[in-house]
Structure 1
Amino acid sequence: MKDAGGLFLLLLAIGVAMALLWFVWSVVLRRYWRVVRMRHARERREMEEAARR
């Protein structure tokens, strides 16, 4: 019975660690995607202004 409890605790710890990793990864990915999109929009706007001149 003690082994089953230890296994349950191990699975619980792995689940918590994976949830934490997923949360951090989603936050970092969202921030990185926003930065890349803003930089891309700025470059496109500068290219349009250069083409207009």
Structure 2
Amino acid sequence: MSQKSDREKKVYKEIEGKVKMLDDDSYDFGPSMNKLEVCLIIVIAVISVLGLIWGGI
């Protein structure tokens, strides 16, 4: 049982570190997506759904 609580403590400590890193004002989230990337994601999703539907027939 103590092994589980040790693991949980390590996990919570790691989560706390990640949250602090993300909350830091100097953290760079990277560039935002542009319209082309959003359109490509939608097209790929539609093609995937159509492929699943067509494959199920």
Which TM-score band (shorter chain)? 0.3 to 0.5
TM normalised by structure 1 equals: 0.47
Larger radius of gyration: 1
Higher helix proportion (structure 1 or 2): 1
